[in-house]
Amino acid sequence: MADLAGSRHALPYVLNLSLVFTELPLLDRAEAARAAGFTAVEYWWPFETPVPDTAEVDAFVASVERAGVAVTGLNFFPGDMAGGDRGLVTWPGREDDFTRGVAAAIDLGDRLGCRRFNALYGNRIDGADPAGQDKLGLANLALASDAAARIDAEIVLEPLSGAEKYPLKTADHVLKVLDELGRDNVKLLADLYHLAVNGDDLDTVATVHTGRIGHVQIADAPGRHQPGTGTLDIEGYLEKLQAAGYRGQVGVEYKPDGPSADSLSWLPFERRGLA
């Protein structure tokens, strides 16, 4: 077992390759992560369409298999992220894109052995009734829950910062949706950066809501860079999460301040391959 001296917790890390190693082409990032010591990685949706063509999918799968890493998390197709979209779950008129995107993601996850999928809730749409959007969200999340259950997978729902029209800002906002949905395989994604920026109570998230958390992600605040560049006590919150019973992974999902490889110096090499 790796020496955990100097660390305040033993939770395993998984590297998010949609934010780290973006200096490299997408299909080269898994090998870079493996060379950096990681045995598990996660991605947002790694394609530009809800249903990529077979050649794109095959090339992506080959890049992962060549690297010898596990993919433990994928996002569903979120729309145009660069243009400000933040998911299709509650977007009226995009139901077909959402349904087809879920099917494509579940198929890819089944092929890769990935059993966690992030469903970004979606922005409020000008002219659309918020209550109607939320009702659509429950229907779409139920559809995604059923699809995930077929491969014994789970869905996570995430509060976000920096997106004014995205209505889920805090853990309580997500938990309200989960309560209305009532599905055991749909859980909270606790991104400590987003929650901190939005002013949520991270102590409560780490110690009270632990049993409802499906995944944790980290970046320092302010700035969303690597741990040590801001003021967030990331190690302390991870220690509290573990003490409260969290046994999942920690997604390393930050924007590197400098070259990606150099930005990982906060995490000892022997701590990177435990996932």
The residues annotated with a catalytic role in the active site are 158, 253
Our CA dihedral for 66, 71, 77, 81, rounded to 10 degrees, sits at: -90
Q: Which residues contact 110 (CB under 8 A, 6 or more apart)?
A: 151
> What backbone torsions phi and psi does residue 38 show, to the nearest 5 degrees?
-85, 140
b/e for 166-196, b at 16 or more Cβ within 10 A? bbbbbbebbbebbeebebebbbbbbbbbbbb
Lookup: tokens for 232: 């967030």
Lookup: tokens for 188: 């909270």
Cα separation of 186 and 195, whole Å? 19
Q: Is 160 helix (H, G, I), strand (E, B) or coil?
A: coil
Q: Phi/psi class of residue 139: alpha, beta or left (left: φ > 0; alpha: ψ in -120 to 50)?
A: alpha
Lookup: tokens for 209: 């809501």
